[in-house]
Structure 1
Amino acid sequence: MLTHITINNFTLVEHLDLDLKRGMTAITGETGTGKSILLDALAMTLGERADADRVRYGAQRADITATFSLDDLPKAQEWLINNDLNHADECLLKRTITTEGRSRSFINAQPATLQQVRALGELLIDIHSQHAHQSLLLKTTHQRLLDEYAQHQPLLKEVSELYQKWQTLQKEFITLRDNAAEMQAKYQLLHYQVEELDQLNVEPGEIEQLEEEQILLTRAESILYSSQQLADTCNNDEHGLQQRLQQALRLLSDMETKGTSLRNAEQLLNHALIHIEEAYHEIRHQMDTTALNPERLQEVSERLSACYNTARKHHIRPEELIDKHKQLNNELSKMPSEHEHLSILEEKAEQAAAHFHKKASSLSKKRHKAAQKLTKAVNQQLSTLSMNNANVQISLCTDIQSPTANGIDQIEFLISTNPGHPHKPLGKIASGGELSRISLAIQVATAQTSKVATLVFDEVDVGIGGSTADVVGQLLANLGSNSQVLCVTHLAQVASKAHQHWQVSKYSQSNQTASTITELNQQCKIEEIARMISGSELSKQSLAHARLMLEETAD
């Protein structure tokens, strides 16, 4: 519910603070005073297009702040929470407009886009006027009104959830299906690579062993020649190192007296002899194990060449072939499961679609039944509003080929204002005043189920009078008993039914014209209603008539 509005430097208003209450509030005033200023200001806070001309002459910017109570607006609370804009049990919408035409919007003191403001505004207030943005011209409003009237919200929520689930599965399936050719090519490549590595069958440590063996085989002749020379140097009949060391040790052994240095020398020569003997045996072992084998050399070289070529294909080192083999094997093992997943996903998407269409069809049947009842109720209200020739029809076009989160129905309110004429969309046939009265008829018919807390009607009484004006006033008052109703009117019959009455007036100060809004007490109500009856000149008769109208309303 709208609880407070502050307006600064907007059109003719310099400063205005208004506290609003539940029930019906009538807004009246003489022609040209700016009775729609409040509605225009509200429209600005709800995302209406900004215009620099809206800034009061002489001011730099206009500021409008609207405060809403969220006690009876769970959807608005949920929206604020989901957008990280929650602020206890109240919501503050603010709009600033500069003379340069720039504007900024705020939700609970945080900057917001116009799209966000408009989305939230639809959950806070419903303006039925001649503004271009009024919700009754939107098909989404038609669907919402019908579903709220028939109390379809639980089923609609289920349909929406099923639709989202179906679309998610369908998107996954299409993505996977469209990539099938790419997946097949990848599978064939992986299969070839794994098969090649299977045939190569590199063993752990094999590359290192082959490289070492290749070196030995390549240098076998040189190694044998050099090893023979080494062996001869170590052990020769007369001139080998072993023989010379043994001769030196015999000389030391034959010496009768040896000092410390000679004893140390003897010990070192003994150690040297042992090392020479061990080296000789290692050299002989190398000579025994080294053979000239061209066939084996060719075999080893070909094996290494195959490993090197395969490693180059994968841009890795030969030592990494075993790990690469494992990796590709793992990827290949997963490929068949992905093909199987495509079939499973397709089946799940089909099942989700069938479940959605089943629930959507059930919702569609309920909507058709509810549409007949709502059509009858709205047309009855139109008759009481002096629109006997008008006939509303709710069009439901069921199209299973174009489903949405709201089901399979395209819902639109159509109207014919003259007998025999075809029904057409509201915005193409109904005039501003007719559209407001149609809105009133629909709101009255759906008042018990509608979730809108604040309803605004601008000039709903255009073109009517007499008993019909009384009916309009009573209908608005009835709406006000369950919600908040703001109504701009020029008829005394309507204003007299209001729970609160505001008067818009214009005055001049310092060579500038300004408008203000004042809440009227009982005596001022009588005088304002008398003025609306007789004009600017009040008479005893008009005052008495006004007093009588208010007394009848009180009764």
Structure 2
Amino acid sequence: MLRELHISNLAVIEDVVVEFEEGLNCFTGQTGAGKSLILGALEILLGGRGRRGDMVRSGADEARVTGVFEIRDEWVREQVETAIDDAPPDPDEPLLITRRIAAGGRSSVSINGRPATSTMARAVGQVLVDIHGQHDQQFLLTPANQLSVLDGFADCDAMRRRFTATHRALRDLESRRASLVESSDLRRQQLELYEFQAQEIDDVDPQAGELAELQARHRVLANLKRIRHDVGRIHESLHESEGSVVDRLQLICQMLQEMSELDESLSGSCEQVRVATLSLQENAYELRRYMDGVDLDPGELDEIEQRLNVLNRLISKYGEGGGADDPAASVLAHRDTIQDEIERLRGQTVDRDELDGQIAELAAGLEALGAELSEKRHEAALRLVPLVEAELKELGMSDARLAIELEPPSPIAQAGASGLDRLEILVAPNAGQPARPLRKIASGGELSRIMLALKSILAGADRISVLVFDEIDANIGGRL
């Protein structure tokens, strides 16, 4: 319940503390006495926006509203703790909410001394206070909230929470299955891609260092005619032609040999020329053997060119990031990587049948729980209707008729988190009028009385500890 409301520098209020007692608290007075300001302060405290321009009292830096709430109901406490997860209230202490509004329009909220948001304040306010003004969109005007209130009246909140938890678990499983189906298709596509790449690389079967060897051999074969011609000329100049280099060196060596016999200091030069002559003779023989052993094979050249084309295409597809010395090495590294992925994807097996079995079992349990919950709601609706109609008679609506319409249970696939039912409270204010949804009642007086009757009956069931009625007697009439 609301224990205390402290208002400072709000509009014309300088500083006032309003203390509340259990039961009925009434504010009476002439128009303009400030009754609506107290209600407005409570709305601002619980996340309402108000009119920023005239909130702060003239000459003040900020307006401040503080509310002290005592929470006795365990369900309400759970809802508050959910709304303010960062600052759960101490079970033995009151809940303290403070709203500050600066003269410039900025505002801040704190709950139990910790910073909070306006959204959190509104969430707390929805379970602590119900402010009822004529034609306001009240808690009971929403079909989903009507269903929640009926559950409280029927004492089946615990069953509803079980249904909600089971429903959430079922939807989670269904979501998992959908994700698994989607991911399974994706895995299959990835596996097919990796297997194709692996097969393409295996068909080519590149070898480390192969590219460089083929490129070197291709250079030789592509230039073989020129090489044979030039090597032949060199060999002829060294050894075969008249006056070849070897012949001249042999003559020089003979002359040095004769002169070294006359002057021994020339023997070193003679030996060096002799060694050079022998080396050139050996090189000439090597060039002769080279020319005899090298033949132009057009078929080999074609094979090498085809192999180079295949390797280069493979490197362009899978050799990104490979080393400059051996680009094919990156292709081989990519092959190792995709083999690891292939083994990983093949190892991921999903037992859909097992998951389908879990879904079917959970759906069956949810359907049974929903049917039981629906039955309790129908029984509670039959008990609630005459109680509300009796209250309406006391409020001058003796011909009013109330109906609680529960649509046939929905299939599990269409069920919401609150159960299989959809509820709507219908009211026929006068004899001969058709029943209409409570949210569509046009007459302000009728709406006020119907809401008051419902609040009277459901005050305990709706769990909200503070009911605020703003001009609840408007349009009802003085005789009532």
TM over 0.5: yes
Q: Give the one of 282, 301, 307 matched to 2:311.
A: 307
| Secondary structure class of the residue paired with 2:390 | helix
Give the aligned residue type for 1:132. Answer: D
Give the aligned residue type for 1:161. Answer: R
Contact 2:83 2:120 in 1 (8 A): no
Q: Does the alignment pair 1:92 with 2:97? A: yes
Relative contact order (alpha carbons < 8 A, sep ≥ 6): 1 or 2 greater? Answer: 1
Distance 1:68 1:235 in 2: 117
1:278-297 residue CA offsets vs partner (Å, 9 max, x unmatched):
75676456445422111211
Residue of structure 2 in register with 1:363 after alignment = 370
Map residues 101-500 of structure 1 onto 2, 5 A cutoff: 104=107, 106-108=109-111, 110=115, 112-113=117-118, 115-130=119-134, 132-148=136-152, 149-151=155-157, 152-166=159-173, 168-169=175-176, 172=179, 196-231=200-235, 239-240=244-245, 244=249, 248=253, 251=257, 255=261, 283=287, 286-287=290-291, 289-309=293-313, 311-312=315-316, 319=328, 320-323=330-333, 348=355, 352=359, 355-356=362-363, 358-373=365-380, 375-377=382-384, 379-380=386-387, 383=390, 386=394, 389-397=399-407, 398-400=409-411, 402-418=414-430, 421-429=433-441, 430-444=446-460, 446=461, 451-458=463-470, 463=476
Give the aligned residue type for 2:51. Answer: D
Change (3 A) 1:46 1:273: farther
Change (3 A) 1:271 1:411: farther
Change (3 A) 1:78 1:52: closer
Give the aligned residue type for 1:143. Answer: L
1:96 deviates by: 2.8
Contact 1:76 1:123 in 2 (8 A): yes
Distance 2:334 2:235 in 1: 46
1:389-438 residue CA offsets vs partner (Å, 9 max, x unmatched):
55544332222253323333223333344456544322333422431231
Distance 2:106 2:472 in 1: 31
Bigger mean CA deviation after superposition, 215-224 or 89-98: 89-98
Q: Does the alignment pair 1:30 with 2:29? A: yes
| Secondary structure class of the residue paired with 1:292 | coil
| Secondary structure class of the residue paired with 1:213 | helix
Contact 2:428 2:435 in 1 (8 A): yes
Contact 1:5 1:66 in 2 (8 A): yes
Residue of structure 1 in register with 2:51 after alignment = 51
1:309 deviates by: 4.4
Contact 1:162 1:352 in 2 (8 A): no
Change (3 A) 1:212 1:277: same
Residue of structure 2 in register with 1:545 after alignment = none
The alignment of Structure 1 onto Structure 2 pairs a total of residues equal to: 449
Q: TM-score, length-normalised on structure 2?
A: 0.72
Distance 2:248 2:427 in 1: 129
Distance 1:39 1:382 in 2: 30
Residue of structure 1 in register with 2:66 after alignment = 65
Change (3 A) 1:335 1:403: same
1:136 deviates by: 1.5
| Secondary structure class of the residue paired with 2:366 | helix
Distance 1:97 1:368 in 2: 53
Give the aligned residue type for 2:421. Answer: D
Distance 1:223 1:210 in 2: 18
| Secondary structure class of the residue paired with 1:94 | strand
Change (3 A) 1:57 1:64: closer
Distance 2:89 2:278 in 1: 95
Question: What's the C-alpha RMSD, in Å, of the aligned pairs?
Answer: 4.7
| Secondary structure class of the residue paired with 1:106 | strand
1:269 deviates by: 6.3
Distance 1:19 1:253 in 2: 138
Change (3 A) 1:173 1:440: farther
Q: TM-score, length-normalised on structure 1?
A: 0.64
Structure in which a larger fraction of residues adopt strand = 1
Q: % of aligned pairs identical?
A: 19
1:490-544 residue CA offsets vs partner (Å, 9 max, x unmatched):
xxxxxxxxxxxxxxxxxxxxxxxxxxxxxxxxxxxxxxxxxxxxxxxxxxxxxxx
Contact 1:11 1:56 in 2 (8 A): yes
Distance 1:107 1:328 in 2: 56
Contact 1:4 1:17 in 2 (8 A): yes
1:218 deviates by: 0.9
Distance 1:301 1:456 in 2: 92
Distance 1:69 1:277 in 2: 116
Distance 2:313 2:14 in 1: 86
| Secondary structure class of the residue paired with 2:79 | helix
Gaps of 5+ in 2: none
Change (3 A) 1:286 1:226: same
1:42 deviates by: 1.4
1:455 deviates by: 3.9
Distance 1:268 1:158 in 2: 103
Change (3 A) 1:42 1:227: same
Distance 1:256 1:391 in 2: 151
| Secondary structure class of the residue paired with 2:15 | strand
1:158 deviates by: 2.0
1:213 deviates by: 1.4
Change (3 A) 1:133 1:247: same
1:34 deviates by: 3.7
Contact 2:14 2:57 in 1 (8 A): no
Distance 2:116 2:272 in 1: 94
Q: Does the alignment pair 1:13 with 2:13? A: yes
Give the aligned residue type for 2:457. Answer: A
